[in-house]
Each structure stands twice: as structure tokens, then as C-alpha cells.
Amino acid sequence: MAKRFPLPAHGLSIRHLDSDSRHVDWSDLRDECEDGYSVILPSPTYGDWQDRDSNPPAHINRRSARAVMNDADSEAFQETQAYDEWRDSFEPMMNYAWPVTLAYGVSVDDAVALIEQHGGACSLIELGEEAGERLYGDDAPEYVIALTGGGMNLSDHIAAAYLACGCVPPERILSGLAGVISPEKARRLPLQTAYREAARHYASKGKNMLEQSKRVLQR
């Protein structure tokens, strides 16, 4: 059973509340941009090798499937076809991306580990400079979240990926989770905190608009 993951020490970032997806042709980015993009991979587990190789080394089969590989086994894994299949499973499949910048205190290693555990249909992608400029101009994000599968509503995976990065998911995602996310998964994610932060943010914006209207319309 997956563990409930912790909140960042400094709380969830609301930086991406108003963010939306951006259409992207991943093949074009890789072929036409000098630096393209890089998929940030989680640390492989022994189960990743066991599941993709009908005859792995005997000591690999004796290890717990959930255990992260040691350095020697990880290097050996990288020489196998099973590794190529595992690595390729993180490649983006759908032609859009969601911008994300890791919240203060959240490491990229922790983020990808939590995405793997709670948002398994997503990958964290680092854009090269040229690719970032092509998609976002001068306001390119640190990373983007991409889907590795499709054919169904995967908003719950995108929400989990944002939370793994220490961010409140975009309002568009939060507004569409009902009926999509399972009750069990909803309890594991810090969604209550995320909704509260979003509500507080928009309430503050609404109050400010009312105050501004009074200043503008006063006679």
C-alpha cells in the first residue's frame, strides 16, 4: 500500500493555480531543438527489472520488488533491454505539458519518487533552453509535467504530480477531480490542504477586487 506523502516544510506553493496545459509536439522538440528535453527518471527498483526480464540474474529475483537497486545492480540494469523498456515507459505520450516549478525545499529526486508512487501516468520533464523558449518564450518553467498514457481522464495523476512537486494543482485540475479520483487515492493525497489554499487565494483576490471597485467607483 502506498504511503501518504508529506507536505513541504514551507507549505504548498500556489504558483501554478492559474496555469494551464500547453500543446507540444515532443518529437519536434527532440528533433529540432539542440538541447530538446530530458525525462527525469526515478531510481529503479528490483521489481522494475523483474517485471521486464523473463530471466534476470538469480540474485535480482531474490530481492524485494519494492527495494531500490544498489549502484552496482543499477549499472548492470542499464545494460539490458529491460532497462530500455523501463526508461521508454516514462516518455511522454500525449502532446501537451503542464508547467511546474518545484516548491522551496522539494528536491527533484523526492518529486520524481512521489510522482512514480502516486501519479504513475505522469513524468517530470526538464526542458532544454531552446525548447523552453519555443514553448514559453522568456517565461519558461523549471520543469513540465507530461502524461505517459491516455485514453481516459487522468486528472488525478496530474494533481498527484503537482502535489509531489510541492504545488497546489491548477484550478482547472482541482475543479475536475470529482468523479475521477478514487476515495482511497484522495485520502492519500494532501488535497484538503490544496483546496483550502486555493480557496484562500481566490477569496483574497475577490476581496481585493471589491475594494478596488469601491476606490474606482467612489464619487
pLDDT at 218: 81
Contact 104/15 with Cβ under 8 angstroms? Answer: no
Contact 14/200 with Cβ under 8 angstroms? Answer: no
**CA-to-CA distance for 10 and 142, rounded, in angstroms?**
19
Q: Report the candidate in 126, 110, 189 with the shortest Cα–Cα distance to residue 157.
A: 189
Helix (H) / strand (E) element for 100: namely strand 96-100
Q: Is the pTM of this model over 0.85?
A: yes
pLDDT at 9: 84
pLDDT along the chain (219 residues), means of 10: 70 95 91 89 96 95 96 96 96 95 94 92 94 91 93 92 97 95 92 95 92 86
Report the sign of the C-alpha dihedral through residues 128, 133, 136, 141, in that order.
positive
Domain boundaries, the chain: 22-41+90-217
Torsion of CA 25, 30, 35, 38, to 10 degrees: 90
Neighbouring-strand partners of residue 23: 96
Contact 162/146 with Cβ under 8 angstroms? Answer: no
